[in-house]
Amino acid sequence: MGADPPDKSDLTTVSTDNIDVTGVVDGGLQFSVSAGELDVTGDGIYAYIDFQFGFHVAILDPLYKIKDNSLAIESAGLLNIADDLGMFILEDIFDAAGNLLGTKDVEFSDLAPDPVLFDLTDSATFDPQSEIWVTKNILVWATDPGETASLQSFSQRFSQMPIPEPSTWLLMGLGLAGLMGVGRKVAVRA
């Protein structure tokens, strides 16, 4: 997984050692954040973390392809809400040629004077691919002193679909040709 240096308003660095990435049984990734690594406490102006990274996903079994992708904020918190604070994840999915397949975004925020926004899941469907590239931009922010936005976990899921083997396509083609031949004989006799 490649990552750009995180941009933080207090000029400290994010330790990626505190972001654990694990595979999940249903075909995806779980990102778990520890030690408050993606927590921001307001500074009276605009405190933030802007973290960007990308990764490549490939299907190893040639009989399957990736057909869609979902993103979800799993665990997050907004504490001592006074003004504007929250988190936003923007994601782009690309095919092997670099063509954009889809864009997703999720948000958990309180933007005064609007109410708290809970847009915690998003998904994108695209033509089946044997590999995709994902870029992710995470923004966590808080403004007033004492308020805190905390992103603790988010997940990425990939749905797979079976691709028929060439021999299956051949059998289907022969079956259709046979049905067409039977249909012609019935039409000639009528």
The residues spanned by each domain of the chain are 2-163
pLDDT reported for residue 1? 46
Q: What percent of the chain has pLDDT over 90?
A: 52
As to burial, measured by CB atoms within 10 angstroms (0-12 exposed, 13-18 middle, 19+ buried), residue 135 is middle
Cβ(78)–Cβ(86) below 8 Å: yes
pLDDT in tens, 84-104: 899 999 999 999 999 999 999
Kindly indicate the confidence band of residue 150, based on its pLDDT and cuts at 50, 70 and 90: very high
Kindly indicate the confidence band of residue 159, based on its pLDDT and cuts at 50, 70 and 90: confident
Mean residue pLDDT of the chain comes to 84
